[in-house]
A and B are shown apart, each in its own frame.
Chain A
């Protein structure tokens, strides 16, 4: 498409220039094009240079010279002739495109951006914007490029980087403009949590809560910090508060159930986990915890929950854990044959999910 557009543009350009270009220069351009066809890029560049000396106002000559350098991979040398072509014809779109690429490869991201914008080259534009510290614009353009090539690994990589950068910029702005806000403390808490600095993270969340008790998810996140720190009682308190704020939040109910389970409060745990399963049916983690909570008190219901995990998860580690729990229930019931089969399934899944050692 671009090649075709390039050909048409240059053809038109050549016609308009025909009278002004000396015949020797035209011959040299033709000679250069032939050399290009023969993959003699150095010969082509030499011919285009001589043509440029003879026709210093020819857009075609300078464009061809820049293009030849690009083909050769000499991006630095491509930039001056392409710039000269655009001086002569500021609307020459192929020159904008090639110059944008050349500048980007040489690290002149900001300078490349207007050229890439002119030709709507979203992928390169997004990358240039990311490098130029414009992550918001980069995200928009990379998403536009991805719409055309949804699985392009390079685009996915740059989009991921751009979103991280955007997040970081937004966070910096939040912390600089409203450092004492609830959201700023929440954001600091999240960062500390990721660094496994649980106590410090919890302190930030508690500050956020003291400022705004109504923030959704805040208690859920704080509860998870306590959970990571093996502080089950405090985790339970936060999850319980979250379920009161949002009785329809299935995750909050699941988390509360799991915190209760950790403390051996099996009956209460089962109630919350059942409620979570009603709010959001068939979440495997919820069903697994429900199976664990009921293993002693109600093995029949536990078995149903765990069988559902197995059906939903098939070969994942969670399915393996469910088989292990089923085997434990059946061993207690004296159903040795069934337990043995479930242990076989557990071993099979364990083997599937165990990384194979590298051969030296």
Chain B
């Protein structure tokens, strides 16, 4: 167990003082973000809604922030959906050969514009029988270049980054095609062997032929309970470019749900990364990593499966980070309107308790559905804030409930010592929001957001910045996986768990960012997945640093 030591409590007190000071000194007023289109990005998320209300139509699509060419600038990968005919006729095709429906990779240029490099990168045409969903990014072969895994309704695709600006589809060789309806996915190292494994969330047992519509007044999308639940997939990385499906052996396959989101963190401090799966109208799953290749689903017994009054969540997006700076990763799960987003506070001892009311999140939610979500410190005051892409599932919800809207603006809530207060996200334009990826797009030390919305161009929420301090760390694992995923990084008392996974269908900047408030130096404490403990004292603030795993004892 981590144990809450006196030192820890002292550091927390110091953090509170920093935050108070930070709030006083952060002189900028107005919205946190400037919301703008991405220059050079002409991508439109084409989900092709039809009167047949095929359920897949309303669920895309993911976005990833990654530096695929290691030039120090974040690039953007966007997952497109596909063409849905009305009605679909066998043999089913989503026309992904049509460039309109391609996934797209945009390389960031030095001037902040983007160039479409999809074709030259070998990422065009994601397969006519695949309707696109999400994306995961990780360097699964530790060659220093991030690889891309795309989830679909259909077969998933693993693109190996060749390191020369191109990718190769290695799905067949790697053995990670999955099948069925995959949604969110993520790379992590569950056995701490230094190779990134892959977790794939699947939604439900649905097919075009077995599609149905619901709704009394107008046809609309059916709730997940109309379709059988399915299990998720865990692929173990053998370290030779291939993966083994260990879903059954690990115990993951024993639990069927309606999964949509996934996030990783070591919630009980035992040195092994655990898995949280947000499920839609099923108990939420918290897979405790037993450290021997197996997992135990502890959602209900740990208090992280249901709302405080025992109801199932319509779980969609999820983030798994420490919002209250007690050193333990907490959860936020987004869901449908009239169901407040749920914050599961990590109480220690492997226990969670719903704290959505206490944190103020309940009062800020309920009118919109939530999708992509992140616990990120947008104002660099040392406390992780919340950003949520919002919209309803039904594109005709207004017929059923005039108080609700299909399109909604995002929610930004700033963290004031563990309590969230609404803030201006920089736009009130309603969109059918879905994916959100978090990262420092312009390398100014302030976290930005790239979002996706059905039928629209992606949006850039460019952080306007301020005068507080920050530190952004790139981890470079040696004995651990090269990305350092799973490392517990503590800076001036704050903790982040290194991961690119979380949100909804999306993959975040893998760099580990900390707002430092008024502090101009940082003490860094890293527990690598290998077990190596590394400490750096008095590191200067306001810089991007690379920390290589120390392999000396």
Contacts and interface: CB of A to CB of B under 8 A. Distances in A.
Contacts of A325: 308-309
Contacts of A229: 367, 403
A197 B303 contact: no
B349 A334 contact: yes
A340 B308 contact: no
A324 B310 CA distance: 7
A133 interface: no
Nearest to B400: A196
Contacts of B359: 264
Interface in A218-242: 228-233
B246 interface: no
A196 B360 CA distance: 26
B362 interface: yes
A272 to B, nearest CB: 15
A328 B400 CA distance: 36
A296 B358 contact: yes
Contacts of B354: 328
Interface string B332-371: 0000011010000001010101100111101101110000
Contacts of B357: 261-264, 266, 292
Which range contains the number of B residues in contact with the other chain?
Answer: 20 to 34
B360 A264 contact: yes
Contacts of A295: 353
A231 B358 CA distance: 17
A230 B367 contact: yes
B306 interface: yes
Nearest to B402: A197
B301 interface: yes
Contact of A331 (B351, B362, B366, B402): B351
Contacts of A328: 303, 308, 351, 353-354
A196 B404 CA distance: 10
Contacts of A199: 402-403
Nearest to B302: A331
Given A262-B363, A263-B360, A264-B359, A320 B303 contact: no
Interface string B390-415: 00000000001111000000000000
Contacts of A350: 310
Interface string B472-489: 000000000000000000
A321 B301 contact: no
B467 to A, nearest CB: 30
B300 interface: yes
A252 interface: no
A230 B408 CA distance: 15
Which range contains the number of A residues in contact with the other chain?
Answer: 35 or more
Nearest to B358: A264
A205 to B, nearest CB: 14
Interface in A294-345: 295-296, 317, 320-321, 324-325, 327-328, 331-332, 334, 336, 339-340, 343
Contacts of B363: 232-233, 262-264
A9 to B, nearest CB: 54
Which of B357, B359, B401, B419 has most A Cβ within 10 Å?
A: B357
A233 B419 CA distance: 17
A200 interface: yes
A196 B303 contact: no
A69 interface: no
Nearest to A317: B310
A228 B403 CA distance: 10
Nearest to A233: B363
Which of A197, A230, A324, A346 has most B Cβ within 10 Å?
A: A230
Contacts of B340: 230, 262
B93 to A, nearest CB: 34
A327 B308 CA distance: 11
Interface in A275-302: 288, 292, 295-296
Nearest to B366: A230
A334 B340 CA distance: 28
Given A230-B337, A230-B338, A266-B358, A196 B308 contact: no
A101 interface: no
A240 to B, nearest CB: 16
Given A264-B357, A331-B351, A230 B310 contact: no
Contacts of A233: 363
Contacts of B306: 324
Interface in B281-313: 300-303, 306, 308-310
A63 interface: no
A292 B308 contact: yes
Contacts of B358: 264, 266, 296
Interface string A340-360: 100100110010000000000
Contact of B347 (A231, A261, A332): A332
Contacts of A197: 402-403
A352 B390 CA distance: 35
A198 interface: yes
Given A262-B362, A296-B358, A321 B402 contact: no
Interface string A131-148: 000000000000000000
Contacts of B338: 228, 230
Nearest to A324: B310
B310 A320 contact: yes
A163 to B, nearest CB: 25
A320 to B, nearest CB: 5
A196 B403 contact: yes
A331 B268 CA distance: 14
A288 B300 CA distance: 20
A197 B398 CA distance: 10
A175 to B, nearest CB: 21
A292 B309 CA distance: 9
Nearest to B353: A328
A258 to B, nearest CB: 10
Contacts of B308: 292, 321, 324-325, 328
A74 to B, nearest CB: 41
Contacts of B300: 343, 347
B355 to A, nearest CB: 8
Contact of A198 (B310, B365, B402, B419): B402
A139 B300 CA distance: 50
A35 B367 CA distance: 74
A199 B359 CA distance: 27
A148 B196 CA distance: 77
A297 to B, nearest CB: 10
A264 B363 CA distance: 7
A27 B353 CA distance: 90
A288 B310 CA distance: 12
A229 B365 CA distance: 11
Nearest to A269: B357
Nearest to B356: A264
The 6 closest A-B pairs by CB, nearest first: A230-B366, A331-B351, A198-B403, A263-B363, A321-B309, A321-B310
Given A198-B403, A328-B354, 9 more contacts: A197-B403, A262-B362, A262-B363, A263-B360, A263-B363, A324-B309, A325-B309, A331-B349, A331-B351
29 contacts: A196-B402, A197-B403, A198-B401, A198-B402, A198-B403, A229-B367, A230-B337, A230-B366, A230-B367, A231-B367, A232-B363, A262-B357, A262-B362, A263-B357, A263-B360, A263-B362, A263-B363, A264-B357, A264-B360, A264-B419, A266-B358, A292-B357, A321-B308, A321-B310, A328-B351, A331-B347, A334-B349, A339-B351, A347-B300
